């Protein structure tokens, strides 16, 4: 018999950036665990492909909204619509992210700084704030509980040369999740951060084809391979499920052991 808390039947999960990469890996696992899944992504074609791929995996409903999380009005509108359609939000994973570095910190431009901030910091803020509103209202009506998740990065806790703008957003996200864990625990709402290591996605496409990178970096990963989006399915299901109802304020590193090398 399957451990019952991992069955997400009846739960509603919003995943930003859920149409590709780590987000899609999470979406597929959530759908396979029978959750109703709401995918947010900017590109309609990618959204449609993700819905088609995930819809047949479980008994829940999978839908997508075209949302740019860097636009506050779009986030507010989409979260309201999702709540109205599914009658509740049980889990929100702020996963949408971008990454842009510079040749050096001293040559980094304000444009680069703000490019990272818009999605990684402000987008996560808008998303999690609106999800928290929904969860708190439900708790005050007598139905407590919920899970807020932020996809951060090892860059948020380790040195990331030439990527200070990106690292700043991810370190800030971890701090924001910790603050949410303290503020919303009284409503049964937990908040946690997921920290990916080197994962084969569009964001790391350039490094994936670099022999020097493979030799100097990936060989340092104890599991000896790039991470894959599917490697994030288990943690998504766990954090969305009742199995994690007493787990809050944590940073969960998924990196094949790289940070311990």
Give Cβ neighbours of residue 175 (< 8 Å, ≥ 6 apart).
none
Phi, psi of 223 (to 5 degrees): -80, -5
Spot the catalytic one: 33, 134, 153, 193.
153
Please give the torsion angle defined by the CA atoms of residues 98, 178, 236 and 66, in that order, rounded to the nearest 10 degrees: -40
Token digits of residue 183 = 């503020």
Token digits of residue 62 = 């999978």
Spot the catalytic one: 20, 134, 147, 166.
166
Among this protein's residues, is 246 annotated catalytic?
no
- Angstrom distance (rounded) from CA 91 to CA 93: 7
Spot the catalytic one: 170, 187, 241, 248.
170
Among this protein's residues, is 153 annotated catalytic?
yes
- Angstrom distance (rounded) from CA 152 to CA 101: 16
CA neighbor of 16 nearest in space, from 111, 89, 95: 95
Token digits of residue 150 = 């932020």
- Angstrom distance (rounded) from CA 253 to CA 208: 21
- Angstrom distance (rounded) from CA 13 to CA 186: 21
Among this protein's residues, is 11 annotated catalytic?
no
Hey, which residues are catalytic here?
Answer: 153, 166, 170
């Amino acid at each position: 018999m399957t451990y019952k808390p991992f069955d997400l039947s009846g739960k509603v999960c919003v995943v930003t950036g859920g149409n590709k990469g780590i987000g899609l890996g999470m979406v597929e696992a959530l759908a396979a665990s029978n959750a109703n899944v709401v995918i947010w992504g900017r590109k309609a074609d990618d959204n449609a492909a993700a819905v088609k791929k995930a819809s047949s995996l479980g008994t829940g409903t999978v839908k997508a909204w075209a949302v740019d999380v860097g636009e506050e009005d779009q986030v507010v509108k989409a979260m309201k619509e999702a709540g109205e359609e599914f009658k509740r939000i049980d889990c929100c994973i702020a996963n949408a992210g971008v990454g842009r570095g510079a040749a050096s910190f001293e040559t980094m431009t304000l444009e680069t700084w703000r490019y990272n901030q818009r999605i990684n910091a402000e987008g996560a803020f808008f998303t999690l704030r609106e999800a928290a509103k929904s969860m708190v209202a439900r708790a005050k009506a007598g139905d407590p509980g919920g899970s807020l998740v932020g996809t951060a990065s090892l860059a948020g806790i380790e040195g990331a040369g030439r990527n200070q703008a990106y690292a700043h957003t991810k370190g800030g996200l971890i701090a924001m999740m910790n603050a949410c864990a303290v503020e919303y625990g009284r409503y049964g709402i937990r908040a946690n951060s997921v920290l990916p290591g080197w994962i084969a996605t569009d964001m790391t496409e350039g490094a994936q084809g670099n022999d020097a990178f493979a030799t100097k970096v990936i060989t340092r990963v104890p599991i000896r391979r790039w991470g894959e989006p599917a490697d994030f399915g288990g943690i998504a299901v766990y954090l969305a499920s009742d199995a994690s109802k007493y787990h809050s304020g944590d940073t969960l590193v998924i990196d094949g052991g790289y940070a311990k090398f």
